[in-house]
Structure 1
Amino acid sequence: MQKLIAALALSGAAGLVAPSAPAPKAAPRQALADLKEGASNPFPDGWDPAGLADLGTPATLAWFRAAEIKHSRVAMAATVGWIINEAGITFDGDIASGVSFASLGKGVQAWENVPDAGKLQILLAAGAIETASEFQSPHYMKGGKLGSIPGPFGLRLWDPVGLMGGLSEEVKANKRQMELNNGRLAMIGAASMFAASYVDGSVPALPDSW
């Protein structure tokens, strides 16, 4: 009986003791900060409202960054090509037998008028470039800079003619940052052109013919 009374007393006393403070939550992984390149004004700490940078592992984040760079480069080429095409500047000659470049038209209509064989060749070329980017060593998901190291047959996807070879790492990093910023703007621009082509008035700054 004495043991039971002592146990009850101890349990009651325990209820008077302030609970221990909860263990502090682990500081959020500074994924974007650790990535360094890509965070610039007006979002110096990175812009990631959906928290995608915290998904997966650092290798996953490197894959996200590689996808962003690839999309940026495609968007920059597309934006320049779209503007040139809208200005009426085309290649001389035919894209296929009896089909001239000038006859393709403008904007999305130009793509629709490309012969199927031509579309297939374009897609195969894009696939070959994408495949080549996966052969660089070290891989971009294992610490390598996307396109900074020659791939098969000496193909270098970033700086294809080697103009950056003599620059310092700091200057190279600055130029890569510039490429990202320009590419992000180009993605917005290319998306705007497509929107204006399909939805009249969706982009007030662009004519509906785009």
Structure 2
Amino acid sequence: MSETGLRERKKRRMYQVLSDTAVRLFLERGFDAVSVAEVAAAAEVSKPTLFRYFPAKEDLVLYRIADHEDEAARVAGQGPAPLDALRRHFLTGLERCDPVTGLNDGPEVLAFHTLLYGTPALVARLHGYLERSEAALAEALGSGLEARLAAGQIIAVRRILARENWRRIAAGERVADVRPDAVRAAERAFDQLAAGLPHLARPPRPDVTQ
């Protein structure tokens, strides 16, 4: 492996170590009760070193979902009907209980979502994450106001669907009981998007029985 590749691997590993250490401490004691200095000490790095990787305390948590930031944009770029691709991707996520869809009752996933959505500072920071997701999707869909409006609607639908699934799971419902409703809700939501954004969806097939 080249020296550049080795440095990149070490850098990614440090990101992961710092984030995992921080999330573990935040789950144990609460986000506000743990200082950045304590995270750095637990990870055996200096505070300045930690800040070189994560400029803000909240970023230590959001790193867990950083890979999903441009996910919608990547999916939308897979074919001529971006909305259909995004629908399939979300439904596939429900099928495999992808945590990003909210349909996952793993104890660690539930604890992380409770930390994320139950901490005002993290919710505020999450807004920036969603704005960047929206901007990336808008760029994938085209340019101008029309693309930005479409991206805003799509990101909002994905977020609301996921939050509703998480709300029901967090309230104690089983994944098997929530999934059918989650699939129906997603299908309805994407149907509504397709009706309002027909240029992003594949035209319906003509009814050959008529």
**Under a length normalisation based on structure 1, what TM-score does the superposition of the two structures give?**
0.26
Higher helix share: 2
**Under a length normalisation based on structure 2, what TM-score does the superposition of the two structures give?**
0.26
